[in-house]
Structure 1
Amino acid sequence: MVVRGSGSIGRRHARVFRQVGADVSLWPVRDRGLANGAADDATGARLLDDSTGPASLRDAFVVVATDTSRHVGDALEALDAGAEMVLVEKPVAPTAAAAHALDEHPRRSAVWVAAPLRAHEGFRHLRRLVGRLDRGGAAHVRSQSWLPDWRPDRDYRESYSARPDEGGVLRDLVHEIDYATVLFGQPALVGASMVTGGPLDIEAEQGATLLWGSGLFDVTTRLDYVTRPTTRGVVVTSPDGILEWDVVRATVRHTTPGGERTEQVFDHDLDRDIVMGTQARAALALRPSSPLDERIARGAPATFADGIAAVRLCDEARAFGTRGPAAISSPENPA
C-alpha cells in the first residue's frame, strides 16, 4: 500500500497500517532529501519519490493524507493509475463543488473517507442505544478545544486549520457531522451561525453552531477552536432516558426515565493508534459497498457519498451563517 503525504497524519497512517500487517510505502509531497527506497525513521515504511511513486499506485491501497486542497487531485491520480482502493483523509474536499471531478469518476465507489470516530467502541455502543429510542428526542453534539494546543511545537497560525479556504472548524471537525448523521439520520439544516472573530488571529472560522432536523431528532452542534479544557461528545435526551457519550473520557452513560444510571468505559478508545488500527483493518477487509451494519460494526471509514454529504452540510452552514437563510435557497445554492 502507498501513503501519499508524510505530515503527522500521513506518518500515523503509515505506522498504523504497518502495525496491522500491511506492506507500506510512504510518498512525501515535498522532497525530504532521503534516498528513494530508504526506510522512513519514524514509521519504518519505504520511501518513494516522484520518480517511483506514480507506478506504485497501480493495484495498491492508497491513503491520501495531503493538504485538503490536494485531496481530490491526489485521489483522482490514484484511481486513474489503477489503485484498488483509496482512503482519503477528512474532509474529502474543501467544498462539495471542489469534489465534482471525483464525484463524476466511474470508480468513486472505491473511495473511503477517514472517519475514526466511527471506530470508537463507545460510538458503536451508543448507536445501539440510540436505535432503541423509538420516540426520538433531541441531541447536542459538541467538539470544543483550543487550537494552539493541537500541535504545541508549531505556530497554529501557519497550519492548514487557520486557512479560510482549507481550514476552519467546519472542515476540521467534520467528523462530528458525520457521526451525528449515522446516529440520527440525514440532516436538514434549520439554522447556523459562524464565529470569525475571537481570541485566535486566523481568517478561518473559529466557531460554528448548527441546528438541523434529522428524522425523529432535533440536533444542535457546537464546534470551536476556542475552548479550554477540551470537551467532545454528545448528549441525547428523550422520553426513554438520557444518553451521553464523552469522547474525552471514553465513556457512555445511560440514564433511565426512572433516574437509574449505568456507565461503561471504553479504555481502548483513548489510544488513537488502536482506534485507527480498527479503521485500517476494516478498510482493508471491506468495501464501501459492504452492508452498512457490517461497516459500522467493524469500525469502517465513511463512504465517499457520506463524506460529500458532510461537506455539503458544512457548505450550507457556512452560507447560512455568513449571509442568512436566503443564501441556502438562492439560485447559486438551490435548496
Structure 2
Amino acid sequence: MVILVIGAGSIGRRHADNLTALGEVTELISWRSYDRAALEKRNDVKGLVIATATQVRLELVTLCAAKGWPFYVEKPLHWTAAGVAEIYDAAGDLAKRSMLGFMARYHPVVQALAAGDLSDVYGFSFEIGHDVRQWRQNWSFPDSYAAKPDGGGVLLDLCHELDLAKALFPDLAVQSVASVGHADFDGVDFASRIALTGGAGRTGTVAMDYLSPVSLRRSELSGGRGLRKLDMLAAKITRDDGNGPETKSFPFERNDMFRAITRDWLALIEDESATLAPLAPRLSDMRSSSDLIADASGKRVFFGTAEMEF
C-alpha cells in the first residue's frame, strides 16, 4: 500500500521524505500532474497528504472522502468560515482518521506548557516574524500561494501561533485584527496583530509578520503564579515567580515535529481510537481552531503598507 503526497513543493517533498524514512511507500505527485480520474481507479492507496495551495484543497478532500482515504491536510484549512464548513461537510467521519498540519503543537515547549496548569494566566502574547524574501531557497514570494489575496498573506501562512493560543486557551475569540499591506499585493497582509479575549478576563495578542530581518518566534504568558517567557527557536522556557528567573531548555530539531505528527497520523490510519500526543491536531478536533483562523482573516483591517522591495 502507498501513501500519495499531492503537492511537490518544499513541504510536499519534506512529507514524502519523512514518510519514506518512517518505512512507508510514498508517491509524490505535483498539483500540475494531478489526475482525479486516474486516482479514482486506484486501490493501492493507504492515505493521502494534501500539500497544495489552500485554494484547491476541497477537491482533494472530496476525492479522499469518496475513496475512504484518510488524509493529512496542510494548514490552514481555509480562509473563510464557509470554506471551513464545506471541507468538514465533505470529510464527514473521515475527519476522525485525518490530521490538520499544525505540527507546532508537537514543539517540546508547547508540550511542556500543555502538561502544566495555565489557569492563572490572564494575559499572553505570541509573535512570529521572518523576512519573506529569505523564506526558502529558490523560492519567490510574488510567484507563490502566499502572494494571492484569496488564501495568501501572513496571517494564514504563519497561523501556527494563532492555533497554539487557541489550543492552550480554548475559549478565545477574535476581537480585532490590524494589518499592514503592500502596494504591489492588494489584499495581502505582510503584518497582522490579532486581539483575542477569553473567559475569566483573559486577553492577549498574536502577531505575525513578513518583515523582521531576524527570525523570531517568542511568547509571554502572564499569570498570577508568575511570568513565563518562551523562545520557540531556542526551545527554552524561562519562568519567574518573583524570586528570579529559571530557564529550562529542551532538545529540539524542527523536523522532529513533522515526524511526530506523521507518526500520529499513521496511527490514526490504522485505528481512529489510537492514543495520540497531547494536543494532536486530529481534524475532527480542529473545527474551532479553523473557524478562529478564518474569522481572523475576515476581520483584517489594513492601516498602511510595508516598504519592502522584491
Alpha carbons 2:97, 2:282 under 8 Å: kept: no
Matched, 1:7 2:13: no
Letter paired with 1:11: R
What is the TM-score when the length of structure 2 is the normalising length? 0.86
Task: For residues 244-282 of structure 1, give each alpha carbon's deviation from its aligned partner in whole angstroms, at most 9, with x where no partner exists.
Answer: 2211111122222322x22222232xx232221111111
Alpha carbons 1:72, 1:92 under 8 Å: kept: no
What is the TM-score when the length of structure 1 is the normalising length? 0.80
The change in CA–CA distance for 1:55 and 1:250 in structure 2 (over 3 A counts) is farther
Q: 1:300 — aligned with what?
A: 280
Matched, 1:195 2:175: no
**Identical residues among aligned pairs (%):** 24
Matched, 1:80 2:82: no
1:309 to partner: Cα distance:
2.9
Match of 1:62 among 33, 45, 48: 48
The change in CA–CA distance for 1:95 and 1:140 in structure 2 (over 3 A counts) is same
Match of 1:278 among 248, 260, 285: 260
1:23 to partner: Cα distance:
1.8
Alpha carbons 1:250, 1:267 under 8 Å: kept: yes
Following superposition of structure 1 onto structure 2, how do residues 219-238 of structure 1 map, counting pairs within 5 Å? 219-238=204-223
Alpha carbons 2:80, 2:295 under 8 Å: kept: no
1:305 to partner: Cα distance:
4.6
Matched, 1:312 2:291: yes
RMSD: 2.6
* Structure 1 unaligned spans of 5+: 32-47, 325-335
More displaced, 52-61 or 219-228? 52-61
The total of aligned residue pairs comes to: 296
Whose relative contact order is higher, 1 or 2, with alpha carbons under 8 Å and at least 6 apart? Answer: 2
Match of 1:321 among 264, 282, 300: 300
Task: For residues 209-250 of structure 1, give each alpha carbon's deviation from its aligned partner in whole angstroms, at most 9, with x where no partner exists.
Answer: 111112343121111111120111211011211112211111
Following superposition of structure 1 onto structure 2, how do residues 84-123 of structure 1 map, counting pairs within 5 Å? 85-105=70-90, 106-107=92-93, 108-123=95-110
Q: Distance in 2 between matches of 1:289 and 1:186?
A: 26
Letter paired with 2:59: G
1:27 to partner: Cα distance:
2.2
Q: 1:256 — aligned with what?
A: 241
Following superposition of structure 1 onto structure 2, how do residues 207-246 of structure 1 map, counting pairs within 5 Å? 207-216=191-200, 217-246=202-231
Q: Distance in 1 between matches of 2:125 and 2:302?
A: 24
Match of 1:161 among 123, 137, 146: 146
Task: For residues 46-84 of structure 1, give each alpha carbon's deviation from its aligned partner in whole angstroms, at most 9, with x where no partner exists.
Answer: xx976753334665221111111111111111121221x
Alpha carbons 1:123, 1:245 under 8 Å: kept: no
Letter paired with 1:197: H
Letter paired with 2:247: E
The change in CA–CA distance for 1:150 and 1:304 in structure 2 (over 3 A counts) is farther
